[in-house]
A and B are shown apart, each in its own frame.
Chain A
Amino acid sequence: MRFLIIGNGVAGATAALTLRRREPDAAITLVGGESDFFFSRTALMYVYMDRLSRRDLEPYERQAWDRQAIRRVRGRVVDLDAANRTVRLASGDTLSYDRLLLATGSLPNRIPWPGLEAAREGVAHFVTLQDLAECERLTPSTREAVVVGGGLIGVELAECLVFHGKRVTFLVREPWYWPVALGGPESAMISQHLRRRGVDVRLEEEVAEVLTEPGGRVGGIRSNAGREYPCQMLGVTIGVHPAVEWLVGVTTPPACGRGILVRPDFATSLPGVWAAGDCAEIQLPGEVPLVEQIWYSARRQGELAARAMLGDPIEYRPPIFCNSAKFFEIEYTTVGMVMQAPADAEEFYCPVPGREASIRLVAYRGALIGCNLLGARWNHALFERWIAERRPLDYVVGHLGEAQFDVEFGRLDLSCIREAFRQHAQTRQSQPAGA
């Protein structure tokens, strides 16, 4: 059996290793266009900040791939012929397979702002190794930078640029930073933290026009508020989309929506072809099609897709949502539904006095459905369990100590949270039902 995997990101690499664990003798080939070896994309920022080398990003020793007999091919795939079970690389080489996994990941979004096309230099994304190289090339000739987009990559890029001593303006279109995940007060804490670290956070502002120097280098931007921000580097971090453009015009294109359409067992519309990770759009029966684009989901999907390719009965159900991030020094963990919770959900929010930390618990019909945890370390697995066990908030607050994961001697003092919850519960009791 010959397995071919296109894309050596976390979904593809996890799939390759899963296949090898199960099939000691199969031929497994991993094609990557971005790098020779699988690397941790989530850590690009630490290379930019000189805390890691590029080699350090590789989660496995290089000889491990030979030991695992996983053949690595560097190249871009330009054609897919599912009838003859072959793919063609840009180099002209052809690879044949019995089962194929598409794990091509995602690409940064762009908006055709006026003036952007004239900017031949200075516009940067921060998703790929090539983006990193471009950022590094631009850094010495940059004094001021504008980062556009209120998500996680934007904050990472801003942190890197601050590290390098740049004046950074961070444009957020929404009324507060990252409203899909953070409540107003949490976001205000993050914004304050960013400002203290030297980032000029501008809320409810977006790019109206990109200004260019005579040589073609970005010179600044004009915002929709009419303000001009001079910059020699424009970081565009407005999200990513499934990398499916390359499938347009191949011999046998699989059915695509936003991403490559797959069934809950990761099978595409083509025989012998599966897709997983950021590039896949999973059609779950009776639900909105699902595109998951975080590290954890790609790893999970890569493993499950590999098992599906081996014939296991897989029917994907996204587990209770969980994600993590770090905003400069503030660590963030979220579990379950928080900002997407029903309007009549019960919310308990408690900032921890004297510390850049907070906890937000959300309950619906008496049971925990989600939490946002900032500035302290918690074991998300326990919150997942409490959500699965439909625990009420008073149970969760009473057991918070078990979920603490702070360093020794550095545990968050929970008494203020307990006291705040007692008042919260009293206030709710004194209100008439349904208020």
Chain B
Amino acid sequence: MLKQGKANRLAHDLTHRGVTAWLLSAALFAFYLALYFTEGFTGVARALGLPDKWTLYGLLYTLAILAGGVHVLRKYRHNRYQVVRTAVVMFVQVTLAFAVPQILKFFHQPEYYFSYLWPLKLEDLTPGIVFQLPLPYILYSFLAALLLAPALAALFGKRWYCSWVCGCGGLANTAGDPLRHLTSKSSAAWKFEKVAIHTVLAVCVTLTALLFVTWGLGSRHPRLSAFTYHFQSLYGLVVVAMLSGVIGVGLYPIGGTRVWCRNFCPMAALLGLVQKIGRYRITVKQNMCISCGLCSKYCEMGIDVRAYAQANTSFTRASCVGCGLCAEVCPRGVLRLENTATKAPQEFVLVRISGVR
């Protein structure tokens, strides 16, 4: 039953797929379509003294994360993991994802975003682009994507990126927090997720390989160059513009905050595969779950956490971004995120005092 009062009813309507939610979704779609496919915002940006529409977008995005972040910091102030994680994600957004590239530009350096890596940022391993950069940037692009990111994911889970650093996760976990419960928990949605996200990863890896082959062969194969160019443009249109932008954020009020991260992001797919064989896990306290379902409800990745908790099974799911909200909302403290090398002692408690003599 929703809380009394007009403001509460409006909030409920917005967060429970009511009319307001659909209106907001439509507005977000319109905003992203206008941003990607028109120059309407260029004038606005200039009027505000900003160089282009993307800087304006970056500013708006950063403000959304900061405003949402303040709300989240207040809401979960009793939970140190949430406080630290949210503070870091806000800090990364303000610095690496917004201020640092502008400062670099000011000092006549490339406008480089250190917080976005291949395969989320295809340009980082697009030879025609990355090899134009000074050597330190080239090294960072390759090492961060191919060594640092997987290594950290193996040690700490993909959360180090998806819910501590990445701007997509940053928006989801701050401004998107009131909408996090909308992600579908059905097993059908899980099946779709597995097919979709690994398809995008495969396409992305294929495209990257093709970009290297085309670059290596130079201008000797004009037909291959043309094909690669069209492939790259199509990927930019479908994956980058439509799936990560228009649909990813446009569907926030309807499908939850992680539509892009869960179903399409190639970075999430890759780090998820590493996570499955890494240390990260969600430990479940034995025989303590009351099956209330808050963990599943508030999982933004659509994981039916309760299914594991009530079965007393500690688990690692490729899609889990380690936001820690399942542990936060659990009224019995059943869940804990862990990445220690040795498993917690409770998993060695094999001889549980049984109910049978």
Contacts and interface: CB of A to CB of B under 8 A. Distances in A.
A52 B293 contact: yes
Interface in B304-357: 306-307, 310, 324, 327-328, 331-333, 336-337, 344-346, 349, 352-357
Interface in A157-201: 163-165
B3 A43 contact: no
Contacts of A318: 355
A274 interface: no
Interface string B270-293: 000000000000000111101111
B331 to A, nearest CB: 5
A99 interface: no
Contacts of A51: 294, 297
Contact of B349 (A47, A140, A322, A381): A381
Nearest to A410: B80
Contacts of A405: 285, 333, 336
Given A40-B290, A56-B293, A59-B310, A164 B4 contact: yes
A225 interface: no
Interface string A402-417: 1101011110000000
Given A385-B349, A388-B353, A52 B294 contact: yes
B180 to A, nearest CB: 12
A377 B81 contact: no
B107 to A, nearest CB: 36
Contacts of B1: 47-50, 136, 139, 164
A326 B78 contact: no
Contact of A295 (B290, B327, B355): B290
Interface residues of A, number: 56
A37 to B, nearest CB: 12
Contact of B291 (A59, A314, A322, A382): A59
Contacts of B291: 10, 40, 42-43, 59
A42 B356 contact: no
Contact of B285 (A163, A326, A381): A381
A381 B345 CA distance: 10
B12 interface: yes
B147 interface: no
B84 interface: yes
A402 B345 contact: yes
Contacts of B285: 379-381, 405
A281 interface: no
B357 A324 contact: no
Contact of B287 (A296, A382, A410): A296
A424 to B, nearest CB: 25
Contacts of B349: 381-382, 384-385
B81 A410 contact: yes
B79 interface: yes
Q: Could you tell me the dominant secondary structure of chain B's interface residues?
A: loop
Nearest to A40: B291
Contacts of A333: 288, 332-333
Contacts of A378: 333
Contact of B355 (A42, A165, A316, A379): A316
Contacts of B331: 46, 326, 331
Q: Could you tell me the dominant secondary structure of chain A's interface residues?
A: mixed
Given A43-B291, A57-B292, A316 B356 contact: yes
Interface in A311-329: 314-320, 322, 324, 326, 329
A59 B290 CA distance: 9
A378 B334 CA distance: 9
Contacts of B288: 296, 322, 324, 333, 380
Contact of B4 (A140, A296, A322): A140
A211 interface: no
A408 B80 CA distance: 7
A315 B294 contact: no
Interface string B1-45: 111110000001000000000000000000000000000000000
Centre residue among A319, A331, A379 by max chain B CB count within 10 A: A379
Contact of B78 (A296, A316, A329, A388): A329
Interface string A277-293: 00000000000000000
A320 B351 CA distance: 13
B356 A317 contact: yes
A52 B354 contact: no
30 contacts: A43-B292, A46-B292, A48-B1, A50-B1, A52-B293, A56-B293, A59-B291, A59-B293, A61-B187, A164-B1, A314-B356, A316-B357, A317-B357, A319-B354, A319-B355, A326-B331, A331-B333, A379-B285, A380-B288, A382-B349, A384-B349, A402-B345, A405-B336, A407-B79, A407-B336, A408-B80, A408-B324, A408-B337, A409-B81, A410-B81
Given A379-B285, A381-B349, 20 more contacts: A43-B292, A52-B297, A56-B293, A58-B293, A59-B307, A139-B1, A140-B4, A315-B357, A320-B353, A324-B290, A377-B336, A379-B345, A380-B288, A382-B345, A384-B352, A402-B345, A407-B82, A408-B324, A409-B83, A410-B81
